[in-house]
Amino acid sequence: MKKNILLIFLLLSSLFVLSQNQEGEKITIHFKNENRITIIERLEELTNYRFYFLESWLNDALLSGSYKNTDLNIILDDIFKNSILNYYISKDNQGKRIIN
């Protein structure tokens, strides 16, 4: 019985640590009628992330949004919604990079 309780405790502790590590950086940003390139440049200023993409991949659609203490992933999901782009966040020893 004690082994089961210890095992459950360790499992729950591990899950808690994993969920904390996967939580993204919180961002507060507001934009109105701005294109994706401008929004990406602002996100680069607000975070330690660098975005890598070709400008030709982005259309001239104007976007508006307001986010307060929001995961970067949620903001990126919204920015790239209705586009053909996906993104990958890399956090390695070379820094934080977002590749589109």
Of the CA atoms within 13 Å of residue 15, those in its CB half-sphere come to 6
Confidence of residue 91 (pLDDT cuts 50, 70, 90): confident
This prediction's pTM:
0.69
Confidence of residue 2 (pLDDT cuts 50, 70, 90): low
Parse the chain into domains and list their residue ranges: 25-99
Least confident stretch, 36-45, 51-60, 75-84: 51-60
- Report the top-level CATH class of 25-99: alpha beta
Element (H, E) at 66: strand 63-71
**Residue 25 to residue 80: CA distance in whole angstroms:** 18
**Residue 30 to residue 47: CA distance in whole angstroms:** 14
Residue 13 has pLDDT above 80, yes or no: no
Q: Are 38 and 62 in contact (CB under 8 A)?
A: no
